[in-house]
Every structure is written in structure tokens, then in C-alpha cells.
Amino acid sequence: MNTRNLFEELKQGLLESKEHDITILSVNENSNDCPQWHQQALKETEQRFKEGKEELIDWKRAKQLLRKEFE
């Protein structure tokens, strides 16, 4: 697995629960709490998710993938 695939799986994992969905949806564009680049990345991920291009993975699986990638 290359780094880009790992990054994509990690982003997918961020959407694994309603709590994360709500966080993503409630990001205020004018907020100083979240950098602009991060807001954009969240919006892009949300759009891909809505289009069925993102797959959810749980945090346990994400950790396994990270460990495997950096062994």
C-alpha cells in the first residue's frame, strides 16, 4: 500500500461515525479553529462520500493499516 492509498483510507476512517459526520458538516468557513486547507479537504472528502467514492473504515482498521505501512 502506498502513502496516498493510506492517506485516502485514513480520510475515509474519519467519516466512520455520526459524530465525525456532524463535525465535518458543522465546520464554519469563517472559523479560526480550522485552517482553510483543512476545511477544503473535509469538504472534498464529504463530497466524495456523498458520491459513493469513499468507503468507511473503522479506527481499529485504520490503526492496523498505519502500523503495517510504517513497519
Residue 59 and residue 32: Cα distance in Å, rounded? 27
Closest-CA residue to 50 (of 10, 9, 19, 21):
21
pLDDT per residue of the chain (71 residues) written in tens, 0 to 9: 566 676 677 766 765 655 555 655 555 555 567 788 999 999 999 999 999 998 888 999 999 988 998 98
- Total-model pTM: 0.44
CA–CA dist 19, 3 (Å, integer):
26
Structural domain count, the chain: 1
Domain, as residue range, for 42: 3-69
Report the candidate in 51, 53, 52, 46 with the shortest Cα–Cα distance to residue 25.
46
